[in-house]
């Protein structure tokens, strides 16, 4: 049977491996050396999706929950308290909970390669819309930090996100200036931080999409395919959805399906999701604070929206749909 190589060992890679092995496909994995994220917030729907796909319904059952978020967005805005339901986990905890990977191998003769970590094949080009950089820093929380809350605050030169992962400690995500500079501008979050440690990691927080997302014998998913702005929510859940669709494309191709049509469908679906994400980014960055930094990032999102619209056309048609975890053709180009 056709052997499949999966490059990467993050959530998307593991999801592809799990689904392909379950379908009876021989799989080999080429792990990556990407550093693990120290903290991931998973919404209730994301927890449900991950538990269902990996058949681990109790994975998040006993973790402390975030019950509400406190948001101060736009200049001189009063904090707003919103209901929320999420857990905070390290990426290491999450990956350990998903079970072991198949054997590691180079698998030079693989008929399909799932690119779930960089680099993409040379025929692909990354398109980025923005220039923002994020930092994560370990913090010690003050007594005023509510145990079941997270906080989001827009500032003149960026924004901050604070979340606890233990009674007296948490993680601070800063996008824009260095976290110390943004904390100096802060009123709401600064009062919740007793001490900030030096940044533990720096990474791009700019939305990006690879084009093309597949070719003869390869398909991209997870962080190799696209990246979302952390402000806009569940990148982990979307990585799982990408992996579900990527594994379904491979299985349909192995059953004799039209590879070009399947890959075109995959790219259209992901481009549509990326387009929706950029629309959310534009809304948030247009209303965040005003000033040069915000205007530049909102403008980049607007350019990305226009670029996606040009690729998708006025009414994108989808030639396939998921029936469970399998792709099937649809008539009349109906959307799903």
Q: According to the model, what pLDDT value does residue 1 have?
A: 52
- Note the pLDDT tens digit of each residue in 180-196: 999 999 999 999 999 99
Mean pLDDT across the stretch 90-98?
Answer: 92
- Note the pLDDT tens digit of each residue in 55-68: 999 999 888 889 99
Instruction: Give the domain ranges of the chain.
Output: 4-38+90-131+206-333, 39-89+133-204
Region for residue 158 given its phi and psi (left: phi exceeds 0; alpha: psi -120 to 50; beta: otherwise) = left
Largest CA distance in the chain: 62
Q: According to the model, what pLDDT value does residue 182 have?
A: 95
Residues 105/30, Cβ–Cβ less than 8 Å: yes
Q: According to the model, what pLDDT value does residue 37 have?
A: 86
Residues 98/14, Cβ–Cβ less than 8 Å: yes
Q: According to the model, what pLDDT value does residue 3 have?
A: 84
> Which residues have a Cβ under 8 Å from the Cβ of 192 and sit 6 or more positions away?
141, 142, 144, 145, 151, 162
The least confident of 101-115, 118-132, 202-216 is 101-115
Which among 190, 2, 234, 29 has a CA at the least distance from the CA of 116?
A: 29
Q: According to the model, what pLDDT value does residue 335 have?
A: 41
Per-residue tokens: 156: 């003149």
Would you give the end-to-end CA distance of the chain in angstroms?
A: 31
Please tell us whether the domain made up of 4-38+90-131+206-333 is placed in CATH 1.20.1740.10: no
- Note the pLDDT tens digit of each residue in 286-328: 999 889 999 999 999 999 999 999 999 877 878 899 999 999 9
Q: According to the model, what pLDDT value does residue 66 have?
A: 93
Angle 235-254/11-22 helices, nearest 10 degrees?
A: 30
From the candidate CATH numbers 3.30.9.100, 3.60.110.10, 3.30.530.20, 3.40.50.2300, the one assigned to the domain spanning 39-89+133-204? 3.30.9.100
- Residue 150 pLDDT > 50, yes or no? yes
- Note the pLDDT tens digit of each residue in 4-43: 999 999 999 999 999 999 999 999 999 887 788 888 999 9
Q: According to the model, what pLDDT value does residue 336 have?
A: 31
From residue 32, alpha-carbon distances to 57, 100, 105 in Å are 27, 15, 12
Q: According to the model, what pLDDT value does residue 104 have?
A: 65
Q: According to the model, what pLDDT value does residue 39 have?
A: 87
């Amino acid at each position: 049977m056709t052997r499949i190589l999966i490059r990467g060992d993050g959530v998307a890679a593991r999801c592809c491996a799990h689904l392909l092995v379950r379908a009876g496909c021989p799989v080999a994995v080429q792990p990556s050396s990407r550093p693990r994220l120290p903290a991931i917030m998973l919404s209730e729907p994301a927890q449900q999706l991950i538990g269902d796909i990996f058949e681990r319904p109790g994975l998040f059952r006993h973790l402390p929950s975030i019950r509400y978020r406190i948001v101060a967005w736009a200049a001189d805005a009063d904090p707003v308290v919103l209901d929320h339901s999420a857990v905070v986990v390290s990426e290491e905890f999450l990956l350990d909970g998903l079970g072991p990977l198949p054997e590691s191998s180079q698998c030079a003769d693989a008929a399909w390669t799932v690119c779930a970590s960089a680099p993409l094949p040379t025929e692909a080009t990354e398109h980025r819309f923005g220039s923002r950089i994020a930092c994560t820093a370990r913090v010690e929380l003050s007594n005023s930090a509510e145990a079941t809350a997270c906080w989001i605050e827009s500032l003149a030169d960026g924004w901050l996100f604070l979340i606890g992962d233990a009674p007296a400690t948490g993680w601070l995500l800063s996008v824009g200036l260095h976290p110390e500079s943004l904390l100096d501008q802060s009123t709401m979050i600064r009062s919740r931080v007793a001490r900030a440690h030096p940044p533990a990691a720096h990474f791009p927080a700019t939305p990006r999409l690879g084009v093309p997302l597949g070719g003869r014998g390869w398909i991209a998913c997870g962080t190799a395919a696209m990246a979302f702005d952390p402000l806009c929510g569940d990148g982990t859940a979307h990585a799982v959805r990408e992996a579900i669709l990527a594994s379904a494309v491979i299985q349909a191709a192995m059953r004799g399906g039209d590879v070009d049509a399947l890959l075109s469908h995959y790219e259209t679906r992901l481009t549509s999701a990326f387009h929706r994400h950029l629309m959310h980014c534009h809304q948030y960055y247009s209303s965040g604070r005003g000033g040069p930094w915000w205007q530049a990032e909102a403008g980049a999102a607007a350019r990305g929206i226009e670029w996606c619209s040009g690729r998708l056309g006025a009414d994108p048609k989808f030639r396939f749909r998921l029936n469970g975890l399998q792709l099937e053709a649809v008539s009349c180009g109906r959307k799903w």
